[in-house]
Structure 1
Amino acid sequence: MKLEILEKDKIYHIYNRGNNGENIFTSDENKKYFLKLYLIHLEDNVETFAYCLMDNHFHFVIKVNNEKKVTQAFSNFFNAYAKAFNKQNDRTGSLFEKHFKRIQVENEEYLKNVIQYIHLNPKNHLDMDYKSFTFSSYQTILSDKTTNLLRNEIIKLFENIENFIYCHDFKNEFLFDKHLLE
C-alpha cells in the first residue's frame, strides 16, 4: 500500500488504532502524555483543527506547515509514545497498526463533516456525552482558554459558535435516529 505524501498547506484527517484493535491508552495520564508528545513533535510542523483520543484509537485533523519534516515528526511522536507505553505496561512489540492513516480533506464541506465526526466519536463508540468528553477538542473550541487549535478558523468555518454547536447537535441526533432504524 503506497502512503499518500503529506503536502504543505494541505489538510488531512490522520488516524490510527491499536494493533489488533487493542487499547493504546489505559489511563487519562496516557492520553495527557500523548497530547504532550504531540505538541513536542508536531507543533512546528502542523496546525490542528480537531482531535479525539479514544481508548483504542485516535483522530486528528491537521494542516501541514512543514512538508519536509512532518512525516518524520509523526514517526518520532508515535515511536516515543509507543516506547513509553510499552515500558509502563511491561509489553513489547507494535502498539499501533502498521502506518497511520491519512485522508486529504479536499473541500470545506468534508472538513466540517470530519470535525463533527471526530467530536462525536465518544457518543458513537462509548455512548458517552461528546460535549463533556475530556480528550476531544470540542470543549476547547467552545472555551476561551489559550490553545494551539485553529479555533478562529473552525468557528469561521461553521459561521459562528452557535452554528458550530447546532451542527454538532443536529448530526448527533441524525446519527442517533439512523442508529435506531438499523
Structure 2
Amino acid sequence: MGIRNIEFANGEYYHVFNRGVDKRIIFNTKAQQTFFFNRLWLLNTTDNRKYIANKRSRYKDQLVAAQGDQLVSIVAYCLLPNHYHLLLKQEVDNGISQFMQRLGTSYTMFFNQQNNRSGSLFQGKFKAKHLGGDFALPTLSAYVNLNNKHHNINPADALVKSSLGEYLDIEQGRYICNSNEINSIISEAGGADEYKIFIKHASLSFADNKNQTLSINDFEF
C-alpha cells in the first residue's frame, strides 16, 4: 500500500476522488448508484458499533442509521459511471480517512457480491487535494457539481447524480450536503441566480485550461 502524502486537518476542505480500476464502470445500475449515495450519509458518523455494521451488511435493502457526530461535512458530490468526486470538510480527527475507508469497503463488497467478482474495485487509494490558496469553495463546487459536462456525459443517457439539485433547491430526493456550507457558497457568489451564472463561467474556465472545446451553452442546466 502506498503512503498518502497529505495530512487531513479538521475544518479544512478537500477534493476527494477515485475511479474504477482499469477505468471500469462502477455504477452499472441505478440501484448500485443509489446504494453508494445512501452510504454517503449512512456511514458519515463516529458511531462505529459492530451491531450497526452487521445489520447493514445483513439488510442491504434497509437504511440503517446510527448515532454520533459526523466525520465530515459533505459540501458537494458528483457520481459518474466510472468515477466520483466529493468536496469534503473534515469535522473530527481522521474523519476523512475513516469515512472514505468505510465507503470504499462497503461499496466494493456490495458491488462484488452483485457481480460475482472479487478483488479491488477502485484504482488504489482515493485521491485527495487540499483546498488552499486562492482556490475558492464556489469555484470547486462548480467543478464538482457540473463535472459530467467535462466528460461529455449527458444525464439523460447515463447514470449521473450530483449535488447541483441541492444547491438550486430542486433535488427530488434526499439532501445530504451540509446546508450551512451550501448557503455560505451561494451567499459568497451573490445569491442563487448569481451562483448559476458563476458556475457556468467557472466551468468554462476549467474547460479552457484543459483545452476542451466547450462553450457556455454546454453548461446549460
TM-score, normalising length: structure 1: 0.86
Deviations along 1:9-59, one digit per CA (max 9) or x if unpaired, are 110000000011111111121111101111111251111111000000000
* Residue number in structure 1 paired with 2:23: 21
CA drift at 1:111: 2.4
CA distance in 1, matches of 2:175, 2:109: 27
CA distance in 2, matches of 1:50, 1:22: 23
Report if aligned partners of 2:143, 2:203 keep a CA contact under 8 Å in 1: no
Report if aligned partners of 1:49, 1:154 keep a CA contact under 8 Å in 2: no
RMSD between aligned residues = 2.5
Larger of the two Rg values belongs to structure: 2
Which secondary structure state, in structure 1, belongs to the residue aligned with residue 135 of structure 2? helix
* Residue number in structure 1 paired with 2:175: 147
Bigger Cα displacement from structure 2, 33-42 vs 94-103: 33-42
Report if aligned partners of 1:108, 1:157 keep a CA contact under 8 Å in 2: no
CA distance in 1, matches of 2:113, 2:155: 32
User: Does 1:170 find its partner at 2:197?
Assistant: no
The amino acid of 1:92's aligned partner reads S
CA distance in 1, matches of 2:147, 2:94: 31
Which secondary structure state, in structure 2, belongs to the residue aligned with residue 117 of structure 1? helix
Judged with a 3 Å threshold, the aligned counterparts in structure 2 of structure 1 residues 68 and 120 are, in CA distance, closer, same or farther, namely closer
Judged with a 3 Å threshold, the aligned counterparts in structure 2 of structure 1 residues 111 and 2 are, in CA distance, closer, same or farther, namely farther
* Residue number in structure 2 paired with 1:180: 213
CA distance in 2, matches of 1:173, 1:58: 20
* Residue number in structure 2 paired with 1:78: 104
1:1-182 equivalences in 2 (<5 Å): 1-3=2-4, 4-43=6-45, 44-107=70-133, 109-128=135-154, 135-143=161-169, 147-149=175-177, 150-173=181-204, 175=207, 179-180=212-213
The amino acid of 1:147's aligned partner reads Y
Deviations along 1:90-129, one digit per CA (max 9) or x if unpaired, are 1111000110011000146342222111122211213426
- Give unpaired runs (5+ residues) of structure 2: 46-69, 215-221
Give the structure with the higher percent helix.
1
TM-score, normalising length: structure 2: 0.72
Which secondary structure state, in structure 1, belongs to the residue aligned with residue 88 of structure 2? strand
The amino acid of 1:91's aligned partner reads R
Structure 1 stretches of 4+ moved >6 Å: none
- Give unpaired runs (5+ residues) of structure 1: none
Report if aligned partners of 1:47, 1:148 keep a CA contact under 8 Å in 2: no
User: Alignment length, in residue pairs?
Assistant: 179
CA distance in 2, matches of 1:114, 1:36: 23
